[in-house]
A and B are shown apart, each in its own frame.
Chain A
Amino acid sequence: MSLDATQETASRTPADAKGADRAPARERLRPVPFRGGGFVHTRHRLIAPLLFVLLLILWEIGSQTGFISNIALPAPSEAAAALGDLFETGMIWKHLSASLYRLVIGWSLGSLLGIAVGLAIALFSLVRAGVAPFVSALFPIPKIALLPLFIIWFGIGEGSKVATILFGAFFPTVIATYGGVDNVDRNLIRMGQSFGLSWLSIVRKIIIPGALPAILSGFRISASIAIILLVAAEMIGAEYGIGAYILMAGALFATDQLIAGVALLSVLGLTVAWLIGRAERLLLRWRG
């Protein structure tokens, strides 16, 4: 190796190099044109809030001047007033707690079952052969279409709503989990085997942590689906809940309340995304 290095330097004598440098120096000098710009993401933290505020202001101005008809779209100030009413009467907590209860229970149970079934599919080829086709067949069915059935099976009360959300969260989690396990580096599993790790240790310490990034991205999708289904389920036979509130507002053509309810959903979605982002940062610290 050291032999190679000396040969390489010896073959290119200093005199050669200098002669090559000098020749073009007599001509006009200009910088090499830079072509490497763009295609790089820079973070602009303020742009989104500014744009949002600007949009609200324009909307408000449009409503005030009559450019936007009040029937077509209420002014943001009216929606804000409707939201304020909700807080004042304390109804917000009734609606929110009812919705959160359904969302948390439905999504958690659906995710837990989804991870369990996803792991079983990934680890046992018999389960994969038997269950995976069913998952593929049932995933694309809109769960809301099954709501009448769920009402018969689980009752008109909380049961059917939780079940809708549960099934909605279940399928994407199954698919994310077994896809994640399939993508775990085989060499790591082989390493575990070569050190005589038990089957359970390999699953617990190599396979599950390896699949965790995929499972967490699956959570992002399943949580959004859960919120969509929450509203849909609450539109049938619910007294309280954000979905029920929106449905009621729609029936009364109280568009200010409708916008207030939609804003609440948006905040709910953002909060869930933020929580999952936190979980990712905590659990996937090793990715840096």
Chain B
Amino acid sequence: MELILDHVSHSYGDVTVLDDISLSVGSREIVCIVGPSGCGKSTLLRILGGLEKPDGGAALIAGDPPSDSLNPLTYVFQDFALLPWRTVEGNVSLVLEDHGIDRARKREIIADVLARTKLTEFAHAWPRQLSGGMKQRVAIARALSVNPAAMLMDEPLSALDSQTRDLLMDDLVDLWGQVGFSACYITHNLAEAVRLGHRIVMLSRRPGRIREIVEIDIPLAERANHPEETAAIQRRLWEAMRDEARAADRELSNVA
């Protein structure tokens, strides 16, 4: 299955946030979208997953999602979006309950995704007891449980400290090795993009346009062993983005 944005434009009132964006996310591919703050990254992701309608263009799905996919387009949010009144297990269970899965199968799925995200021993913990990193693991487990055709990740690691972020990036790389999910990964952190992206799409400052697309050939699992190459790409991206980031920083915000 392929997820396509076809000449998408969007504005809030007078402010154009996205201008003629076309891109695609293939299966088993992680596309990272980077750009200065306020360039419409999150709007783009909401359009991609059908939470928002674009003013122009369209978000399209090519091919059928796998038949066992309960929720083909699945989000992972920056703020985790866990229900505080449900345990870790209950939060994963929430997204399975509407699909008429029998109890044994449900328990099997929950055990499987919790094991994959190293959460088995925390199944009965409340979200408030977990660190930020663990909370995001729960959110990732929840996303995996519905067997998504594409994960839409909105700055999933931005609320975490840098050590936790490193750990989770390793986990995501492992997970991709096991499950081979495809993902559209929004971030403002170039190190994350370089570590996780097969393709990096750089957006310009508002109105967001595609400035550059960088493909990285090094397999995800081996990137840790190629620090020079990845650092060089990261530096080049930063050179290209720095002035825009500075200008964006000094902009008054008109978009809520």
Chain A residues engaging chain B, CB cutoff 8 angstroms: 1, 185, 187-188, 190-198, 201, 205-206, 209-210, 212, 284, 286-288
Bound Cα distance from A287 to B56, whole angstroms:
44
7 contacts across the A-B interface (CB closer than 8 A): A187-B77, A190-B51, A196-B98, A201-B98, A206-B83, A209-B83, A286-B85
Chain A contacts for B74, CB-based, 8 A: 194-195
Chain B contacts for A209, CB-based, 8 A: 83, 85
Convert B116-151 into 0s and 1s, putting 1 for each residue whose CB lies closer than 8 angstroms to a CB of A.
Answer: 000000000011110000000000001000100000
Chain B contacts for A1, CB-based, 8 A: 162, 166, 191
Q: A1-B166, A187-B79 are in contact. Are A193 and B51 (CB under 8 A)?
A: yes
Chain B residues engaging chain A, CB cutoff 8 angstroms: 49, 51, 70-71, 73-75, 77, 79, 81, 83-86, 94-95, 97-98, 126-129, 142, 146, 162, 166, 191
A-B interface, 9 closest residue pairs, ranked by CB to CB distance from nearest: A191-B81, A195-B95, A286-B85, A194-B75, A209-B85, A187-B81, A196-B71, A286-B126, A201-B98
Cβ-defined partner of B94 (8 Å) among A190, A194, A205, A212: A205
Chain A contacts for B146, CB-based, 8 A: 195
Smallest Cβ distance from B225 to chain A, in angstroms?
14
A191 touches B77 (CB 8 A): yes
Residue of A nearest to B129 (CB): A288
Bound Cα distance from A190 to B129, whole angstroms:
23
Residue of B nearest to A190 (CB): B51
Residue of A nearest to B84 (CB): A286
Bound Cα distance from A194 to B83, whole angstroms:
14
A205 touches B71 (CB 8 A): no
B98 touches A197 (CB 8 A): yes
Smallest Cβ distance from B206 to chain A, in angstroms?
23
A188 touches B81 (CB 8 A): yes
A288 touches B126 (CB 8 A): yes
Smallest Cβ distance from B152 to chain A, in angstroms?
8
Residue of B nearest to A3 (CB): B231
Chain A contacts for B77, CB-based, 8 A: 187, 191
Residue of A nearest to B162 (CB): A1
Smallest Cβ distance from B29 to chain A, in angstroms?
21
Bound Cα distance from A287 to B75, whole angstroms:
26
A287 touches B128 (CB 8 A): yes
Chain B contacts for A196, CB-based, 8 A: 70-71, 98
Residue of B nearest to A286 (CB): B85
Bound Cα distance from A288 to B125, whole angstroms:
11
Q: A196-B98, A198-B98, A201-B97 are in contact. Are A288 and B71 (CB under 8 A)?
A: no
Q: A194-B71, A196-B70 are in contact. List 13 more A-B contacts (CB 8 A).
A: A188-B83, A191-B77, A192-B94, A194-B51, A195-B94, A195-B146, A201-B97, A206-B83, A209-B85, A212-B85, A286-B84, A286-B127, A288-B128
Smallest Cβ distance from B234 to chain A, in angstroms?
11
A197 touches B95 (CB 8 A): yes
